[in-house]
Chain A
Amino acid sequence: MTEVGENGAARNVALDVRDLAVHIGGLVALGGISFQVPFGAIVSLIGPNGAGKTTAFNVITGFMKATDGQVFFRGRDLARLSPERIAALGMVRTFQRTSLFTACTVFENVLTALHLRGRTGLLGALLRLPAMQREEAALHAEAREILDFVGLAGRADEIAGNLAYGEQRLLGLAIALAAKPTLLLLDEPAAGLNPSETESFKQLIRRVRERGATVLLVEHDMQMVMSISDQVLVLNQGRMIAAGSPAEVQRDPEVIRAYLGSGKRAAA
């Protein structure tokens, strides 16, 4: 039974999205979608190109404004919160096109992304207080640990822009993990990866979940989605057309139609 808080938001789900709509000019990018992501689950959001998946990500994480509807994260209304506030609350995203601090080293990328784990301000930095030095040491250790986790420890001193594509995707994940998300939103993490890289990325996502994070995934690689997800949500043209377990969704006629076109037209 869903426990409901005073603002009507479900408290025992990580993410509760209600009637979320985004209109860009005259275009309906999202036409009022609702879904929930339970704690500890891996939930995938799929759909053909232009279905509104990335738009949904952008709105949920505060990078875009919703036209209508609400987003609750752990029972808290995220309306009008900035992306950095939302990240501080524990919801962190990755980007569809690899997004790194390209001019910095791999290690510096993660160290920078550990921003929320530190508290040194101007005074601490200028005076080099002992507390600040302890914090720096702790952040360095934490950065090494995260690089180890994603398997980039050996590349720590490389410039991020010089990494191979697959490694850049891993660094993108490491950056997001550095912000210690309780809900991690991954935007097409396997895009452009070869099958073996995809497989190891999948294992990595499982391990992220084992460490206690909830995962919301946008992905085109159906093999990956169907094997990893507890629940699959299907968007088409800004509307939710199906939701359920991978097996249920795969059988859904409307999903098949969205992906393959309607049977009638194919016959004609």
Chain B
Amino acid sequence: MRARFGGLLFLALAATLPLWLRDPYFVAILTSTGIFIIAAISLNLLLGFTGQLSLGHAAFFGIGAYTSALLSLGFDVDIGLPSPVVVDPKPVWIAFFGAVVVSGLFGWLIGKLAFRVRGAYFVIVTISFAEVMRMVALNWVDLTEGPMALNNIPPLSVLWPGHGLTALVTKSQQYWLVLAVGVVCYFLVARMVRSRLGRALIALRENEPLARSVGVRVTHYLVVATVVSAAIAGAAGALYAHCVRIVDPDVFLFIYTVTMVIMVVTGGKGTLAGPVVGGLIFGLMPQALRGTAPPEVQWIIYGIGIILIVFFLPRGIVPAFADLARLRMPALRKPASLVR
């Protein structure tokens, strides 16, 4: 009950933020943080709920970004067929959902390939996959413009009463767009993990032989989780493409995956609020430090912060505070639940 109230309060604050915080720079920071939080939510589904570490998650993000950008810009490419493949520019929302589908398909492919060889091999497959994708983006210049990047990507637009089709170009509009997509993704994941499907995923994480002994199909559920996770990461990538409006091969960089992992682990993997909390902290901290410390010192502080959190709160911030709340208020001392 209290958690729900807290969630609503947080949502109300977040939704009205551009109205009372009239600093477009800060709103823009929050927008890009929000995009990362969506990516972290998607990673949490794999890392937190199935226990599989995907260290190539930026690949799904990047595939989403490139797919949405290319579909909305249109492209022609020669792939050895008699005539080159020509794709006309598509409406931005079709491009957006196209990106979600394409990322999901790649998730399916990686899931099918990688879960035959689990654990460390899954980590290696995902890292390699992201690196291969970066090489493709860098070298397939005909399609991706390589290091010259895809420019002038059209913004997403909505049907606004009284204004017709409105392109979302101002900082506040983009902020609300990211917030809306983020809320949808959060609740999709929440519904998924609080169902029979989610219980199967958690069972695999907690005790795989026991899960199998009661009939949970390991590969099936891991592939489903990977597809959904990849699709949401693709949505985050597409948002990135249409907000920043330029996409280059650096979206596939390992550091972005690492950032997502840090957000999930420090916030609390396997909790719904974890990626949001971790994402806010590590999305905003570099900005908070920007004025006071040179970049090298920033990175050191960043690193020390991560070490301290992992050392003192090994399960992450959200579970630690949930425990604290239970200790302080005995009325709340309900047993911990499957999904917090």
A99 touches B206 (CB 8 A): no
Interface hub of A82, A83, A179 (most chain B Cβ within 10 A) = A83
B197 within 8 A of A: yes
A126 touches B192 (CB 8 A): yes
Neighbour of B199 across the interface among A61, A84, A95, A108, CB < 8 A: A108
B215 touches A87 (CB 8 A): yes
Chain B hits for A93, CB < 8 A: 213
CA separation between A118 and B221, bound complex, in Å? 14
Chain B interface SS verdict (over half): helix
CA separation between A238 and B228, bound complex, in Å? 47
Which of chain B's residues has its CB closest to A98's CB? B210
B337 touches A113 (CB 8 A): no
Q: A87-B213, A122-B224, A125-B192 are in contact. Are A101 and B198 (CB under 8 A)?
A: no
A120 touches B199 (CB 8 A): no
A175 touches B196 (CB 8 A): no
Q: A84-B217, A87-B215, A128-B191 are in contact. Are A105 and B210 (CB under 8 A)?
A: no
B199 touches A115 (CB 8 A): yes
Interface residues of A in 85-104 (CB under 8 A from B): 87-88, 92-95, 99-104
Neighbour of A118 across the interface among B196, B335, B337, CB < 8 A: B196
Interface residues of B in 206-246 (CB under 8 A from A): 206-207, 209-218, 224, 228
A126 touches B214 (CB 8 A): no
B195 within 8 A of A: yes
Interface residues of A in 150-178 (CB under 8 A from B): 157-159, 175-176, 178
Chain A hits for B336, CB < 8 A: 103, 105, 159
A132 within 8 A of B: yes
Q: A125-B191, A128-B191 are in contact. Are A83 and B212 (CB under 8 A)?
A: yes
A215 within 8 A of B: no
CA separation between A113 and B210, bound complex, in Å? 9
A112 within 8 A of B: yes
A124 within 8 A of B: yes
A-B contact pairs, 10 of them (CB 8 A): A84-B212, A84-B215, A92-B214, A112-B203, A115-B215, A118-B196, A122-B192, A125-B192, A159-B336, A175-B210
Using a CB–CB cutoff of 8 Å, the interface residues on chain B facing chain A are 188, 191-192, 195-200, 202-203, 206-207, 209-218, 224, 228, 334-338
